[in-house]
Structure 1
Amino acid sequence: MDFLQLTGKNILVVGVANRKSVAWHTAKLLLEAGANVIFSVRSEERATTVRKLAPESRVFVCDVEHQDQIDRLKTDVTGCVDVLHGMVHSVAFADYSAGWLPFHETPRDAFLQAVNISCYSLVALSNAFKESLDPEHGSVVTISISTTRMAAENYGYMAPVKAALDSSICFLAKSFSKFSKVRFNAVCPGLLKTSASAGIPGYVDSYLFAEKATLRKKAVQTDEVASAVAFMLSPRSSAINSQGIVLDAGMGTNYFDDELTHDSSE
């Protein structure tokens, strides 16, 4: 039974870095569901990796920092499919090369680059493909974080950038509603084990704490995120629009867990 109704659907997945990434887990699940997955990656090196992972799929290179490359991606994708039924935006970047800094010392260039790559790229890609997305059942899903209100010092300026991404979802959904029924949503997981997260200062300590804070005492898994993304792309989620779907295994309701409070008092 094709419950998700994704068989034969054309889905653009933007942002696969390697086999550990949310984008790849999502793409793998979509391929298993019978979807036609088209990939957009940042570099030729990543394209080589993805072609090995998905040899039957088309893979294009697009650095979303550059509008001309986004325009070229549109031409490449529309040259091989007539319609896009969905798009996955799994793109984020922050330059932590300066080391950990208090938020008020965030370098301007680093902040603006993070906004451009991690947030504005969704707006630019959506605009580029506005005439290609299925106007009746199209779905765009981005990857955010479980909360942008928890001021984690080591995550730094990326939380405000993700907050901008969350807000952009609402504005894109409203803007597209003027001429289509394309839906825009975010899947917002708790801390994950990915290659990208490894570059965040002190991430392992935060990850281990977050795992203890979940109700099940087990961190959110990347394949769980992929399942949520697939559902949000599916017509089965047709009534969900302009939302952030939180996947935190109950962490947001468990800050005062006995185990955590006893640990902190010792």
Structure 2
Amino acid sequence: MSLLDGKIALVLGVANQRSIAWGITKALAAEGARVILTYQNERLRENVQELARTLDAPTYECDVSVDEAIARLMQQVKDEHGALHVLVHSVAFAPKEALEGRYVDTGREAFRTALDVSCYSLVALAHSAEPLMAASGGGSILTMTYYGSEKVMPGYNVMGVAKAALEASVRYLAYELGPSGIRVNAISAGPLNTLAARGVSGFTEMRRFHAERAPLRRNIEVDEVAKTAAFLSSPSASGITGEVVYVDAGYHIMGL
């Protein structure tokens, strides 16, 4: 029997076949989950639907910066699938100018946008998903973070601040949703060569340094993050909540 047989899993954040969210989607499906994907807008719809067809997965539009869109998404999941056991939040965004230059020069609107999309969207999704997940017997909410939340990664700038807020939100949500049988965790992945990561100034150098310093002397693969996500989403991780789980070849343990 697979880890997620009979489970309904909603994944937000698939952009293309190199997305962490897409790797996670495939891992969830391989473990028996019925996956559901979202796309932000019409511009991204075709890419997501092309990938979704390979897994026979339904797709729905959802802009996580719009409360009404989140409420509509959860109603669609409830009406058409009747349950929700897994929610994967792999969504982050900051304006390009906020990932260049100095953090101290971050504009107010860029800061607001980064925190809204990268952090508050998890809170909004959890709020809307809680009744359906609780009625489904509980489940798992999972989000993606990065070590730049704890230590300065030059160029990561406002996104590091947003990820720090995201990790704090994981702990508060885990506490509040626990009585409903809902676990909330984060995966802190090492630098992966995704579309979003390439927007970070100095990303190539960041990956080189990571591979040199990590105990395993290499960078990680999306598949390693995806398998961890499948485990954390499954009943096998029933006692784990409020955690940040590192999948970074051990980089975070190093002092030098």
User: How far apart in 1 are the matches of 2:253 and 2:90?
Assistant: 26
Q: CA deviation at 1:222?
A: 1.0
* Pairing partner for 1:26 from 24, 29, 32: 24
Tell me the residue number matched to 2:141: 140
**Contact persistence 1:137–1:235 (CA under 8 A):** no
2:99·2:157 contact (CA, 8 Å) conserved in 1?
no
TM value normalised by structure 2: 0.94
After superposition, the Cα gap between the structure-2 partners of 1:123 and 1:99, relative to the gap in structure 1 and judged at 3 Å, is closer
Q: Which runs of 5+ in 1 are unaligned?
A: 257-266
Residue in 2 that maps onto 1:264: none
Displacement of 1:97 in angstroms is 3.0
Report if the CA contact (8 A) 1:83-1:134 is conserved: no
Instruction: Give, in angstroms, the shift of residue 127 of structure 1.
Output: 0.7
Paired residues in the alignment total: 253
Q: Distance in 1 between matches of 2:68 and 2:98?
A: 29
CA distance in 2, matches of 1:15, 1:73: 14
In the aligned structure 2, how far is the partner of 1:26 from the partner of 1:112? 28
Measure the CA separation in 1 of the matches of 2:74 and 2:32: 23
In structure 2, relative to structure 1, the CA distance for the partners of 1:219 and 1:125 (3 Å cut) is: same
C-alpha displacement of 1:52: 1.4
What amino acid sits opposite 2:232 in the alignment?
Answer: M
With 138-147 and 239-248 compared, the bigger mean Cα shift is at 138-147
Match of 1:74?
74
Alignment of 1:1-266 (within 5 A): 1-2=1-2, 4=3, 6-55=4-53, 56-97=56-97, 100-134=100-134, 136-178=137-179, 180-256=180-256
How far residue 44 of structure 1 moved from its aligned partner, in angstroms, is 2.2
The answer as to whether partners of 2:31 and 2:230 remain within 8 angstroms in 1 is no
For 1:46 and 1:35, the matched residues in 2 are separated by: 24
Quote the sequence identity (%): 36
**TM-score, scaled relative to structure 1:** 0.91
Would the aligned equivalents of 2:12 and 2:39 in 1 still touch at CA under 8 Å?
Answer: yes
1:150 offset after TM fit, Å?
1.2
Does structure 2 conserve the Cα–Cα contact (< 8 Å) formed by 1:16 and 1:46?
A: no
State the alpha-carbon separation in 1 of the partners of residues 61 and 211 from structure 2.
35
Deviation of the 1:99 alpha carbon: 6.2
Please report how far the alpha carbon of residue 147 of structure 1 lies from its aligned counterpart in structure 2 after TM superposition.
Answer: 4.8
The 8 Å contact of residues 183 and 240 in structure 1, kept in 2 or not, is answered as yes
1:141 is paired with a residue whose SS is strand
Aligned mates of 2:191, 2:229 — CA distance in 1: 16
Asked whether the equivalents of residues 145 and 188 of structure 1 are also in contact (C-alpha less than 8 Å), the reply is yes
Query: What is the CA–CA distance in structure 2 between the aligned matches of 1:185 and 1:109, rounded to whole Å?
Result: 28
SS in 1 for 2:147: coil
The alignment partner of 2:246 has SS state of strand
Q: Distance in 1 between matches of 2:97 and 2:109?
A: 12
Give the helix-richer structure, 1 or 2: 2
Matched to 1:160, the amino acid is V
Q: CA RMSD in A?
A: 1.5
Distance 2:223 2:72 in 1: 31
Task: Quickly say closer, same or farther: Cα 1:129–1:146, change in 2 above 3 A.
Answer: same
Name the aligned partner's letter for residue 235 of structure 1: P
Deviations 1:98-129 (A, max 9, x none): 66221211111101101100000001011111
Cα distance in 2 for partners of 1:199, 1:96 equals 7
Highest Rg: 1 or 2?
1
SS at match of 1:184: strand
Query: Which consecutive unaligned segments of at least 5 residues does structure 2 have?
Result: none
